[in-house]
Amino acid sequence: MSGEQRQWGGRFAAGMDALTAAYTAGADQDLWEHDIAGSVAHARMLGKQGIIVQTDAAAIIRGLGEVLALFQRGEVVWRPELEDIHTHVEVLLRERIGESAGRLHTARSRNDQVGLLNRMLVRECCDEGIRGTTEFIEVLCGLAEAHAADPMPGYTHVQRAQPVTLGHHLLAYGEMLLRDRDRFIDCRKRVNVLPLGSGALAGSPYPLDREMVAAELGFESVSRNSLDATADRDFVAEFLFACATTQMHVSRLAEEIVLWASAEFAFLKLPDAFATGSSIMPQKKNADVAELARGRTGRVYGELIAMLTTMKGLPLAYNRDLQEDKASVQAARAVVIPTLRIFAAMVPALRFDLPRMRVAAGQNFSLATDVADYLVKKGLSFRDAHGVVGGLVRECETRGCELAGLPFPVYAAASPLFEEEILLLDVDSALAARDIPGGTAPRQVRLAAAGLRAQLRS
């Protein structure tokens, strides 16, 4: 390829080996819209500041519009020897307006141009993450309200512990996703700083109006340090962390869907639209969507670790290692955003076996803590109450019954504080008793869902 087509070709007498061209090519060929938008804003500012003449600025802007139309119609053939999207756009521009195209690169470097493209990409990805988490939270709030009073067993150590409601359980994921949403919002704030004008590393000797470019491209501020602006990829790592955490949260839900759909739990049935079968076992219905979400989580973790590992040894300012950032962003985005969308569609279609979950909520001595709390309210210390109820559980194991199956004389023999009303304790009364903010009482679940929705709108 000729030196005229490469942005840096003048220094080199010999051509580039084809292996080098392929190995050094960027992963940005789909980012033409961002690159062209940045170039239009830069050209308009160059003309307004008199850095290039207005006729050249107008020709460049017009030509970029034509190049944009080529990409939109799918008429651009990708040429690996042109390295990246920036050179493709400039070469296509030169083919349309001639020598004036060379003035577009005035007062900018590939380094701050790349930084701009990265920030526009990550900003767009953050917006997708915000939308995806918001939609999923809305779905979970609706389900929580519908199941605010439906009991299910709560677990610790994967052992039945205390009754909760299905709505309360689902809202736990709503809270996780709200934090994920906040992380995307917070990341977007730090992304939204214009690096263009930083040059290769030292700033620009031209009278740039950086605020003008920032305003046109939707950036809230301009960078304060040219070295940092060209070398910074914190926002990439931050976005990847937000993706990794979001995918981890969905993976936890995916694991529960897999378990609950098993014959051992049988808490739910998978909808046909979101399940697959077996090539050999006709009876099988597999939770492949959940399993794939769980399996792909490691890929998102890998992109975060790759970015952090790249950054840890880089001196200031720009190094070519940083080219790998876009591939990591795109790879994480390609997992997380579709995962949020499919779960928002799948979870409402799950068919919960509410009677079975209600029965399970009252089994395995799940009301033992409530019996202990009954004694505490009668004046016994919790430690002593714990010991009394532990003895009752042993008696139940001997008799092969639940606490509700013990006759009252057994309770009375264990503690004179028991009255026959203890026999009225059940799952619903245990749930209703937890009527404090954050509790699993049906009223609190409904309030929590409303509160979660309110935060989405604040």
Question: What six digits make up the tokens of 49?
Answer: 């500041």
Question: What six digits make up the tokens of 392?
Answer: 């009752």
- Measured in degrees and rounded to the nearest 5, phi and psi for residue 152 equal -155, 160
How many CB atoms are closer than 10 A to CB 349?
A: 12
Q: Judging by beta carbons within 10 Å of its beta carbon (0-12, 13-18, 19+), is residue 28 exposed, middle or buried?
A: buried
- Given a contact cutoff of 8 angstroms between Cβ atoms, the answer to whether 122 and 325 are in contact is no
What is the bridge-based pairing of β-strands 268-269 and 221-222?
A: unpaired
For 17, which DSSP code?
P
User: For the chain, what is the radius of gyration of the CA atoms?
Assistant: 31
How many CB atoms are closer than 10 A to CB 220?
A: 12
- Per the document, the length of the chain is 458
- Measured in degrees and rounded to the nearest 5, phi and psi for residue 275 equal -140, 165
* Residues labelled catalytic: 157, 278
- Strand intervals (E) in 17-171: 151-156, 159-165
Query: For residue 160, what are the β-bridge partners?
Result: 155
The 10 Å CB-count burial string (b at 16+, else e) for 304-336 is bebbeebbeeeeebbeeebbbbbebbbbbbebb
Question: What six digits make up the tokens of 130?
Answer: 């915000």
- Three-state DSSP class for residue 445: helix
